[in-house]
Amino acid sequence: MAMLHRHFKLHKPYGYLSQFVGEANKKKRLGELYPFPDGTMAVGRLDEDSEGLLLLTTDGKVSTFFTSSKMEKEYFAQVDGLITPEAIAQLQQGVEIGVRNQKYQTKPCAAYKLASNPEFSARARKIRDDRHGPTSWVSLTLTEGKNRQIRKMTAAVGFPTLRLIRVRIGELHLGNLPVGQVIEVTNQIEEILSIF
Protein backbone atom coordinates (compact mmCIF):
# COMPACT_ATOMS: atom_id res chain seq x y z
CA MET A 1 0.00 0.00 0.00
CA ALA A 2 1.37 3.41 -1.03
CA MET A 3 2.27 5.81 1.73
CA LEU A 4 -0.09 8.77 2.07
CA HIS A 5 2.04 11.90 2.01
CA ARG A 6 1.09 15.17 3.66
CA HIS A 7 1.96 18.74 2.72
CA PHE A 8 1.79 21.96 4.73
CA LYS A 9 2.34 25.66 4.23
CA LEU A 10 3.80 27.74 7.02
CA HIS A 11 4.25 31.47 7.52
CA LYS A 12 7.79 31.18 8.86
CA PRO A 13 8.53 33.80 11.50
CA TYR A 14 11.73 35.79 11.73
CA GLY A 15 14.38 34.08 13.86
CA TYR A 16 13.61 30.44 13.01
CA LEU A 17 15.84 28.02 11.15
CA SER A 18 14.23 26.12 8.24
CA GLN A 19 15.07 22.76 9.81
CA PHE A 20 13.95 20.34 12.48
CA VAL A 21 17.21 18.98 13.90
CA GLY A 22 20.69 20.24 14.49
CA GLU A 23 23.27 20.86 17.14
CA ALA A 24 21.88 21.56 20.59
CA ASN A 25 21.79 25.33 20.92
CA LYS A 26 19.28 28.09 21.44
CA LYS A 27 18.27 28.40 17.77
CA LYS A 28 14.53 28.10 17.11
CA ARG A 29 13.37 25.32 14.78
CA LEU A 30 10.21 24.51 12.83
CA GLY A 31 9.15 21.66 15.10
CA GLU A 32 8.42 24.22 17.83
CA LEU A 33 5.61 25.71 15.73
CA TYR A 34 3.45 22.65 14.95
CA PRO A 35 3.35 18.88 15.57
CA PHE A 36 4.47 17.92 12.06
CA PRO A 37 4.43 14.18 11.22
CA ASP A 38 7.67 12.21 11.28
CA GLY A 39 9.66 12.61 8.09
CA THR A 40 8.50 16.16 7.37
CA MET A 41 11.08 18.27 5.54
CA ALA A 42 11.25 21.92 4.48
CA VAL A 43 11.08 22.45 0.72
CA GLY A 44 13.91 24.84 0.02
CA ARG A 45 14.99 27.15 2.80
CA LEU A 46 14.47 30.57 4.20
CA ASP A 47 17.40 31.75 6.27
CA GLU A 48 16.97 32.65 9.92
CA ASP A 49 16.44 36.34 9.15
CA SER A 50 13.86 35.73 6.40
CA GLU A 51 10.13 35.24 6.73
CA GLY A 52 7.13 34.10 4.77
CA LEU A 53 5.93 31.10 2.81
CA LEU A 54 7.61 27.80 3.54
CA LEU A 55 6.29 24.56 2.07
CA LEU A 56 6.78 21.40 4.12
CA THR A 57 6.23 17.85 2.93
CA THR A 58 6.74 14.19 3.79
CA ASP A 59 7.43 13.44 0.10
CA GLY A 60 10.96 13.86 -1.27
CA LYS A 61 9.64 13.98 -4.86
CA VAL A 62 7.50 17.01 -3.98
CA SER A 63 10.55 18.68 -2.47
CA THR A 64 12.56 18.08 -5.66
CA PHE A 65 9.72 19.37 -7.86
CA PHE A 66 9.12 22.60 -5.94
CA THR A 67 12.83 23.48 -5.69
CA SER A 68 13.38 22.97 -9.42
CA SER A 69 13.86 25.81 -11.89
CA LYS A 70 10.32 25.17 -13.17
CA MET A 71 8.96 26.79 -10.03
CA GLU A 72 8.88 30.56 -9.58
CA LYS A 73 9.53 31.96 -6.11
CA GLU A 74 8.31 35.49 -5.40
CA TYR A 75 9.70 37.62 -2.60
CA PHE A 76 8.88 41.04 -1.20
CA ALA A 77 12.00 42.83 0.01
CA GLN A 78 12.03 45.99 2.10
CA VAL A 79 15.16 47.84 1.06
CA ASP A 80 17.18 50.72 2.47
CA GLY A 81 16.33 53.85 0.51
CA LEU A 82 13.90 54.68 -2.29
CA ILE A 83 14.79 52.18 -5.01
CA THR A 84 15.29 53.73 -8.44
CA PRO A 85 14.04 52.63 -11.88
CA GLU A 86 17.69 52.10 -12.84
CA ALA A 87 18.22 49.68 -9.94
CA ILE A 88 15.02 47.82 -10.84
CA ALA A 89 16.23 47.50 -14.45
CA GLN A 90 19.55 46.08 -13.23
CA LEU A 91 17.75 43.50 -11.08
CA GLN A 92 15.56 42.51 -14.04
CA GLN A 93 18.58 41.98 -16.28
CA GLY A 94 20.64 40.09 -13.70
CA VAL A 95 23.48 41.27 -11.50
CA GLU A 96 26.82 39.91 -10.42
CA ILE A 97 26.94 38.48 -6.90
CA GLY A 98 29.38 36.35 -4.93
CA VAL A 99 28.56 32.66 -4.51
CA ARG A 100 31.03 30.45 -2.64
CA ASN A 101 33.89 32.89 -3.22
CA GLN A 102 33.18 33.04 -6.96
CA LYS A 103 31.43 35.60 -9.14
CA TYR A 104 27.97 34.60 -10.32
CA GLN A 105 25.66 36.38 -12.78
CA THR A 106 22.04 36.03 -11.70
CA LYS A 107 19.47 35.11 -14.33
CA PRO A 108 17.02 37.73 -15.62
CA CYS A 109 14.02 37.97 -13.32
CA ALA A 110 10.77 39.83 -12.79
CA ALA A 111 11.29 42.83 -10.50
CA TYR A 112 9.24 45.91 -9.74
CA LYS A 113 8.76 48.47 -7.00
CA LEU A 114 5.57 47.94 -4.99
CA ALA A 115 3.19 50.90 -5.31
CA SER A 116 2.33 50.71 -1.59
CA ASN A 117 3.78 49.01 1.45
CA PRO A 118 2.47 45.46 1.94
CA GLU A 119 0.45 44.85 5.09
CA PHE A 120 2.57 42.47 7.12
CA SER A 121 2.48 42.39 10.89
CA ALA A 122 5.32 44.15 12.66
CA ARG A 123 8.35 41.97 13.22
CA ALA A 124 9.22 40.95 16.78
CA ARG A 125 12.61 42.60 16.35
CA LYS A 126 12.26 46.14 14.98
CA ILE A 127 13.81 46.74 11.58
CA ARG A 128 15.06 50.24 12.40
CA ASP A 129 13.83 53.74 13.26
CA ASP A 130 12.33 56.04 10.62
CA ARG A 131 14.95 58.66 11.46
CA HIS A 132 17.51 56.52 9.60
CA GLY A 133 15.90 57.43 6.28
CA PRO A 134 13.23 56.11 3.92
CA THR A 135 12.71 52.54 2.80
CA SER A 136 10.84 50.99 -0.11
CA TRP A 137 9.49 47.59 -1.09
CA VAL A 138 10.32 45.61 -4.21
CA SER A 139 8.94 42.35 -5.62
CA LEU A 140 11.44 39.87 -7.08
CA THR A 141 10.44 36.62 -8.77
CA LEU A 142 13.23 34.07 -9.28
CA THR A 143 13.56 30.58 -10.71
CA GLU A 144 16.90 30.02 -8.99
CA GLY A 145 17.90 30.06 -5.36
CA LYS A 146 21.50 30.73 -4.45
CA ASN A 147 22.39 31.28 -0.80
CA ARG A 148 21.03 34.68 0.35
CA GLN A 149 20.52 35.60 -3.31
CA ILE A 150 17.89 38.33 -2.90
CA ARG A 151 19.94 40.07 -0.22
CA LYS A 152 23.05 39.94 -2.40
CA MET A 153 21.14 41.19 -5.45
CA THR A 154 19.61 44.25 -3.80
CA ALA A 155 22.95 45.09 -2.15
CA ALA A 156 24.66 44.84 -5.55
CA VAL A 157 22.42 47.62 -6.91
CA GLY A 158 22.92 49.82 -3.84
CA PHE A 159 19.76 49.06 -1.85
CA PRO A 160 20.48 46.56 0.96
CA THR A 161 17.58 44.37 2.09
CA LEU A 162 16.23 45.13 5.56
CA ARG A 163 13.34 42.64 5.59
CA LEU A 164 12.66 39.69 3.27
CA ILE A 165 9.36 37.82 2.95
CA ARG A 166 8.59 35.02 0.48
CA VAL A 167 5.01 35.39 -0.74
CA ARG A 168 4.67 32.72 -3.43
CA ILE A 169 6.05 29.39 -4.65
CA GLY A 170 4.53 28.54 -8.03
CA GLU A 171 0.75 28.63 -7.53
CA LEU A 172 1.04 28.40 -3.74
CA HIS A 173 0.54 31.82 -2.11
CA LEU A 174 1.22 33.04 1.42
CA GLY A 175 -2.02 35.04 1.36
CA ASN A 176 -3.18 36.26 4.76
CA LEU A 177 -1.80 33.29 6.72
CA PRO A 178 -0.74 34.73 10.11
CA VAL A 179 2.90 34.59 11.20
CA GLY A 180 3.75 31.22 12.77
CA GLN A 181 0.57 29.54 11.52
CA VAL A 182 0.44 26.27 9.59
CA ILE A 183 -2.27 24.88 7.33
CA GLU A 184 -2.37 21.54 5.56
CA VAL A 185 -2.45 21.87 1.75
CA THR A 186 -2.27 18.22 0.70
CA ASN A 187 -5.16 18.49 -1.77
CA GLN A 188 -3.83 21.70 -3.32
CA ILE A 189 -0.35 20.22 -3.81
CA GLU A 190 -1.80 17.07 -5.39
CA GLU A 191 -3.77 19.28 -7.84
CA ILE A 192 -0.62 21.25 -8.76
CA LEU A 193 1.32 18.04 -9.34
CA SER A 194 -1.43 16.64 -11.56
CA ILE A 195 -1.10 19.63 -13.94
CA PHE A 196 2.60 18.97 -14.61
Provide the residue ranges of all domains of the chain, joining segments of one domain with +: 7-68+173-190, 73-169
Instruction: Note the helical H segments in the chain.
Output: 60-66, 85-93, 149-156, 186-195
Same fold, 7-68+173-190 and 73-169: yes
pLDDT for res 22: 62
Farthest-apart Cα atoms in the chain, separation: 62
| Cα–Cα distance, 23 to 3 (Å, whole number) | 30
Q: For the chain, how far is it from start to end, CA to CA, in angstroms?
A: 24
Going by the DSSP 8-state scheme, the letter that residue 107 receives in this structure is P
- On whether the CB atoms of residues 114 and 79 are closer than 8 A, the answer is no
Q: Give the CATH number of domain 7-68+173-190.
A: 3.30.70.580
pTM metric for this prediction: 0.92
pLDDT confidence tier of residue 21, bands split at 50, 70 and 90 = confident
Fold of 73-169: Alpha-Beta Plaits (3.30.70)
- 177-182-137-145 Cα dihedral, nearest 10 degrees: -140
Quick check: is 130 catalytic? Answer: no
Of 38, 47, 59, 130, the active-site residue reads 47
Strand pairing category for 161-169 and 73-80: antiparallel
Query: Is the pLDDT reported for residue 122 higher than 90?
Result: no
Which residue did the predictor score with more confidence, 122 or 140? Answer: 140
Q: What's the pLDDT tens digit per position in 83-113?
A: 999 999 999 999 999 988 899 999 999 999 9
